[in-house]
Chains A and B, each alone.
Chain A
Amino acid sequence: MKRLEKNEALCIGCRSCEAACATAYYKTDDSAYACIRIEDGNSENAEAEFTIHVCNQCGKCAEVCNTCVIQPNAKGVYMIQRKECVGCLMCVGFCPEQVMVQSDDREEPSKCIACGICANACPTGAIYIVED
Chain B
Amino acid sequence: MINICNVARYQGPTEEELKKLRDSHVLLSSFEYERTPLFRGYTDKILTIDVGTKEASVADIPAEVKEKFIGGRGYCLRYLWDAVNPETRWDSPENEIVMSSGPIGGITQYAGTGKTLIATISPLTDIPIDSNVGGFFGPYLKFAGFDALEIRGKSDQDIVVVIDATRQTVTFEEAPLEHFDAHILCEELTALYADDENDKKNIAVVTAGSAAEYSNIAMLNFSFYDVRRGTTRIKQAGRGGIGRVFRNKGIKALVCKVDKVKGNLNNVYDIGIINKTGLRFHREMVQNDAKQNDMRGVGTSYSLRTLADYDLVPTNNFKFGDAPGIDNMTAKVLKSDWLTQGAADGCWYGCSMACAKASDHFLLETGPYKGQRVCVDGLEYESASGLGPNCGIYNPRDILEINFYCDTYGIDTISYGTMTAFLMECYERGILNKERTGGLDLTWGNAADDLEMLHQMSRNEGFGKIAALGIHKQKAYFAEMGWGDLSEMNDFGMEQKGLEYSEYSAKESLAQQGGYGLTNKGPQHDEAWLIFMDQVNNQIPTFEDKAEALFFYPMFRTWFGLMGLCKLPWNDIVPADNALTDDPKMVPEHVENYKNLYYGVTGQRITTDDMILQSERVYDFQRIFNIRMGKGLRADDAIPYRAAGPVFEEEYLSRQERYDRQLVEIVGLTEEEVQGMSVQEKMAATRKYREDQYQTLIDTVYRKRGWTRNGVPTVEHLRELGMDLPELLAVVEPLLAAEEA
Contacts and interface: CB of A to CB of B under 8 A. Distances in A.
Nearest to A68: B227
A55 B383 CA distance: 41
Contacts of B345: 66
Most chain B CB atoms below 10 A, which of A67, A90, A93 = A90
Given A89-B109, A107-B262, A108-B263, A102 B349 contact: no
Most chain B CB atoms below 10 A, which of A65, A66, A87 = A66
Interface in A73-131: 84-90, 92-94, 102, 104, 107-108
A94 B108 contact: no
B275 A102 contact: yes
A89 B279 contact: yes
A60 to B, nearest CB: 9
Interface string B260-302: 1111100000011001001101110110000000000000000
B262 A89 contact: no
Interface residues of A, number: 20
Given A66-B228, A86-B262, A87-B262, A92 B349 contact: no
Contact of B344 (A65, A89, A93, A108): A65
B263 A107 contact: yes
Contacts, number: 71
A30 interface: no
A93 B282 contact: yes
B514 interface: no
Name the prevailing secondary structure of the A interface residues.
Answer: loop
A92 B279 contact: yes
Contacts of B261: 86
B108 A86 contact: yes
B603 interface: no
Contacts of B262: 86-87, 107
B263 A88 contact: yes
Contact of A87 (B226, B263, B281): B263
A26 B383 CA distance: 48
B282 A89 contact: yes
Contacts of A90: 282, 344, 350, 352
A94 B283 CA distance: 6
Given A87-B264, A88-B108, A88-B349, A67 B227 contact: yes
B133 to A, nearest CB: 18
B346 interface: yes
Contacts of B352: 64, 90, 93-94
A63 interface: yes
B269 to A, nearest CB: 13
Contacts of B282: 89-90, 92-94
A30 to B, nearest CB: 15
B349 A67 contact: yes
A88 B286 CA distance: 15
Contacts of B201: 67
Contacts of A107: 262-264
Contact of A86 (B263, B283, B354): B263
A94 B264 contact: no
Given A68-B227, A94-B286, A104 B271 contact: yes
B346 A66 contact: yes
B134 to A, nearest CB: 12
B438 interface: no
B342 interface: yes
B431 to A, nearest CB: 48
A94 B282 CA distance: 7
A66 B344 contact: yes
A10 B342 CA distance: 37
B662 to A, nearest CB: 48
Contact of B275 (A63, A86, A89, A94): A89
Nearest to A64: B344
Nearest to A83: B260
B573 to A, nearest CB: 13
Most chain A CB atoms below 10 A, which of B226, B261, B272 = B261
A107 B349 CA distance: 14
Interface in B561-609: none
Nearest to A106: B263
30 contacts: A63-B342, A64-B344, A64-B352, A66-B345, A67-B201, A67-B349, A68-B228, A84-B198, A85-B263, A86-B108, A86-B262, A86-B263, A87-B109, A87-B262, A88-B109, A88-B263, A88-B350, A89-B275, A89-B282, A89-B350, A90-B344, A90-B352, A93-B278, A93-B279, A93-B281, A93-B283, A93-B352, A94-B282, A94-B285, A104-B272
Top 4 closest A-B pairs, CB basis?
Answer: A93-B282, A87-B263, A66-B344, A88-B350
Interface of B: 108-109, 198, 201, 226-228, 260-264, 271-272, 275, 278-279, 281-283, 285-286, 342, 344-346, 349-350, 352, 354
Given A92-B282, A94-B285, A108-B263, 4 more contacts: A63-B342, A68-B228, A85-B263, A86-B262
